[in-house]
Chain A
């Protein structure tokens, strides 16, 4: 097979990074893959799961596998935006003259772990908005660029909702993927016990640096996508909108707001990374289907009926996928068209 050297390098880097993370993290293969996809796609990832499942450890391990700066912010209700972004402080120089100097906040890092992000107030949560979208923060009227690549990995706990501030929709939309960290199976639990209670913890080696990540991001955007695959992605995103005339019944009944265009971008961009990570040069329908739930589950807002009936967004997206696939030309016999 005639394979592009860059693609070969990407596949190798992807597999190496995943292997390093899996040295520490047991199971969660899909979560690790999707975190890496999100990182290479240039997006941010929100991890949701109950305490003790290794969310923070996963992110820390990933940062150890990358030659990138890493900072961690433990979000609390009294955290202020200046604690994240930084602030101007008065500095007195040797001549005795005083001037303001910007003290960088923890956001100025390649990888930012926003732990328990829903514990901070919306005001503080919003301090991340500009940085996540623009890659820069504005302090005292001056825009300060963040280091590239900039990658926010946030965690939140879905059950301890008391004293928390659910992320606003605008903030949620800025995350490329929302991943659900499930409880491990018993075999995985046994492996976790063995691995974490032994005397020598696993060491993670650095396999990738910042410029490499940036070059891979450029490569990913070159991956071609066929028009029928792109149409399929658009149809899925549109089908989450209850107002769309071809929306399925489940969306009309349970959805208040559908996914934004950012959702379609996340879907296609993630599909490109997935295709390339598998050594493929094109996006397939299967890529879109696989990444539909991580890219759309936090962008679909249920209505009152949906929340009252306890509708799971993953189930809803699965039904939307099924309906969209049936409605498009994918499933029909070509000679009957």
Chain B
């Protein structure tokens, strides 16, 4: 305790003010959370009963009261109070220092002066409010739960879910309607009689080419069954649902009318057959392959060959015969041969749409013609397109034409003609051996050796020539110079 009642009075007043501000602060917070709980109570008014509005109001008041009580009851430290006073009145920490040092045993004369100075300054102070009001963030949204409480209090109670499942059982009239609609559906969805003249593959095509998104129920179109909007508009009825499900299952049993959803009709025939053959033979030895599936595949290849007038029908037939004889190896070989031919034809067709020139088209066309009916060999038939372009194939080994003849001139005819100067020559004959020995060089030796030496000097300084070799190179050129 300081000696001055003035300082203590100042601190008490500030402490009271802090408590009041704290009470306001926490009271607003308490009111907000009380109102939030009140909203929850009013939402459950159906169950709580008529006491709900009163309970909500009580919660708001209780929350505010609890907040006020909490804020007012919290302890306010003396040091904090002193610091608030220092800051509020611009006392430069005099009050806080005085409070701290006035009670110390090692206080000096300066502390006495400090206390006296502080007391004098406090006495001269005008009493004002120093602690500003701080509004909590919850207070900004206090109106929302309070308004919600008022609205919910005056509105009728919100019905709560009973906890029972909804009644899906149809009434007698609805059941009759269901029966009528299901019988109609049976009539419209009855499958057509199977056309004995149509092959299954062609029927597949029929299913693939569906009518556009008209939504009309057409015969044989399964999608129309699944898109049936009349079912969707009806009330859910488990019995009728089961009935429709049975009908769908019966439709699914008619396998020959189902579309092949896995096949891609944008692909070529070769690719489809090739994919099937890969699926059939993938990772299996010939004796492990199902003969039945192999036969089906060969039949399909033979059918495609016949239909398109292609040349692999014979191979497919050969494979089927081998399979009849129990020779799976031969059957597979025949299938592979047929596949190769299919590939060649497919590539030929595709390359026809490519960037080939007119002559190549002509040649390809002739090749195909020959392969079809001119009695060419099997190689020509297989590779009718682009013949001669591959090494070892075709008639010409050089498809770009024969190379031009090399000049038959003498390799030594590159010298420049001229007359040798009379008198002393400062040049040396350099072509001393061979056929050039009889021909005098027309290079002025002494004219170029200097240039060569200069180039040598540049080279040995520019290039990474070991230093020990520099003298050796120079002496070599020196020797040349001396000649």
Q: Which residues of A contact B (CB under 8 A)?
A: 1-4, 7, 219, 222-229, 280-286, 329, 333-337
Contact = CB atoms under 8 A, between A and B. Distances in A.
A222 B117 contact: no
B465 interface: no
Contacts of B96: 226, 228-229
B76 interface: yes
Given A7-B110, A335-B131, A281 B117 contact: yes
B93 A284 contact: yes
A334 B109 CA distance: 31
A284 B95 CA distance: 11
B101 interface: yes
B81 A282 contact: no
B120 A1 contact: yes
A217 to B, nearest CB: 14
Interface stretch (B18-26, B199-207, B411-419, B438-446): B18-26
B109 A282 contact: no
B91 to A, nearest CB: 9
A268 B110 CA distance: 17
Contact of A335 (B22, B94, B108, B116): B22
B110 A2 contact: no
A153 B116 CA distance: 37
B117 A226 contact: no
B113 A334 contact: no
Interface of B: 18-19, 21-22, 25, 71, 74, 76-77, 79-81, 83-84, 92-94, 96-98, 100-101, 107-111, 113-114, 116-117, 120, 131-132, 134
A31 B96 CA distance: 30
Given A281-B113, A334-B84, A335-B22, A225 B131 contact: no
B120 A282 contact: no
B114 A334 contact: no
A224 B111 contact: yes
> 3 nearest interchain CB pairs?
A281-B114, A282-B97, A284-B92
Question: Interface residues of B: mostly helix, strand, loop or mixed?
Answer: helix
Contact of A1 (B98, B111, B117, B131): B117
Nearest to B93: A284
A228 B117 contact: no
Given A222-B108, A334-B18, A334-B84, A229 B93 contact: yes
B94 to A, nearest CB: 6
Contacts of B120: 1-2
Given A227-B100, A333-B134, A3 B22 contact: no
A226 B80 CA distance: 12
Contacts of A286: 92
Identify the interface centre among A280, A283, A285, A335: most chain B CB within 10 Å of its CB.
Answer: A335
Contact of A337 (B80, B97, B98): B80
Nearest to A287: B92
Given A280-B92, A284-B92, A334-B18, A222 B110 contact: yes
17 contacts: A2-B120, A7-B110, A219-B110, A224-B107, A226-B100, A280-B92, A280-B94, A281-B94, A282-B94, A283-B97, A284-B92, A334-B131, A335-B19, A335-B71, A335-B134, A336-B134, A337-B80
A284 B114 CA distance: 13
A284 B86 CA distance: 10
A219 B110 CA distance: 8
Given A224-B101, A225-B97, A280-B92, A4 B25 contact: no
A276 to B, nearest CB: 9
